[in-house]
Amino acid sequence: MAEKITNLVADIGGTNIRIGQVIDNRTIENIEVFQCRDFPSLADVFKHYLNNNDLDKQQLNVCLAIACPVEQDLVVMTNMPWQFSKAELKATLNLKNLLVINDYTAIAHAVPFLDDSQKVQIGAGDVVPNRPISICGPGTGLGVANVVPSESGWISLGGEGGHVDYAPIDETEIAILRFLMKKYAHVSYEQLLSGLGIEQIYQALADHKGIEATPLAAHEISAAAIDGSDELCQQSLNQFCKILGSFAGNLALTLSSFSGVYIAGGIVPRFIEFLKQSEFRTRFEEKGRLSPFTQNIPTFVITEAQPGLLGACAYLCQQLKEDL
């Protein structure tokens, strides 16, 4: 009789680490959330989790989704002082298999398995099954990933798409570009489609209008836009939505994303109704002669609270089928 193998997944950010146990291939149970600052290393967090769940004697497969580059053996966290060698971590925890993927690779692998309770469609368009999917996620930065079907499952196409050149399409956006060019040698979409981006759009519009705006953080701008208490905040958030629509449409054109373009990240799910009423979808579809192309492609906001864990689970299940 084959020895039982326990499969664990983790979603590791700059503040929190979430660890869960894979049950019946797609279900994740025993999810625990830890503050990264409370532990000296990733290995110590896992030792704590394994001891709490009586798993320290079991054979383990582990998939880690991490918000930093993961191509080399040495993984250095971007927003915290942790770093580790994949080979040393595998040996320290006595793992059978260790898979380490980028956080947006994980989200990309989660998307094909989301149901209607885990996403909200924005505007028209119909999903064509088993075609490419694109994902972008405004948050601290702007994450981008794509996932395409293959005979063995889904293949994630990573990259740094959030850092492509910002392309304004009207006079207001040209003014925003000019404002940001005073601060940056290179103005990327991440400078607009992120928490900092909302603030910089707000500052740029105030500058363009020749008014002195009260300094506000991104969440304050969003709140004032949603409750209608500040016109400049409303204009700023609507501008954010328009630029996001243009960027998402660019992703759809680039990869022929007929299975949909998905918005991830921690920002947009907070104002889905505002997004629906904005010009997001209009700008997504407005691609000149190629407008009929994008009009048929659906757009969604991911509302699932744990897409990183779900994606790490999907990736683990696909890569290690013989152990599940």
Q: Are 162 and 141 in contact (CB under 8 A)?
A: yes
13 known ligand binder: yes
Query: What's the pTM value of the predicted model, to 2 decimals?
Result: 0.89
Q: Are 145 and 107 in contact (CB under 8 A)?
A: yes
pLDDT value of residue 152: 83
Strand order in the sheet with 153-157: 119-122, 299-302, 261-263, 133-138, 142-150, 153-157
pLDDT value of residue 267: 94
12 known ligand binder: yes
176 known ligand binder: no
Q: Is 59 exposed, middle or buried (0-12, 13-18, 19+ CB in 10 A)?
A: middle
Strand, coil or helix: 232: helix
Residue range 5-108+307-323, CATH number: 3.30.420.40
- Rounded distance, CA 307 to CA 108, Å? 9
pLDDT tens profile 33-57:
999 999 999 999 999 999 999 998 8
For the chain, domain boundaries: 5-108+307-323, 115-303
15 known ligand binder: yes
pLDDT value of residue 323: 47
- H or E segment at 29? strand 27-35
Q: Are 96 and 59 in contact (CB under 8 A)?
A: yes
Find where tokens 């790490």 sit.
312
Domain 115-303 has CATH 3.40.605.10: no
267 known ligand binder: no
pLDDT value of residue 324: 46
- Within this chain, domains 5-108+307-323 and 115-303 share the same CATH topology: no
pLDDT value of residue 175: 98
Residue numbers in the chain where pLDDT is lower than 50: 1, 322-324
Please state whether 54 falls in left (phi above 0), alpha (psi between -120 and 50) or beta: left
In the 8-state DSSP scheme, what is residue 162? Answer: G
- In 123-162, which positions are buried (b, 16+ CB within 10 angstroms) versus exposed (e)? bebeeeeeebbbbbbbbbbbbbbbbbeeeeebebebeebb
Q: What is the rounded radius of gyration, in angstroms, for the C-alpha atoms of the chain? A: 21
Choose among 85, 170, 102, 168: nearest CA to 141: 102
* Contact residues for 182 (Cβ-Cβ < 8 A; gap 6+): none
Mutual orientation of helices 307-319 and 103-110 as an angle, nearest 10°? 80
14 known ligand binder: yes
pLDDT value of residue 22: 94
Q: Which two tokens stand for residue 44?
A: 């110590």
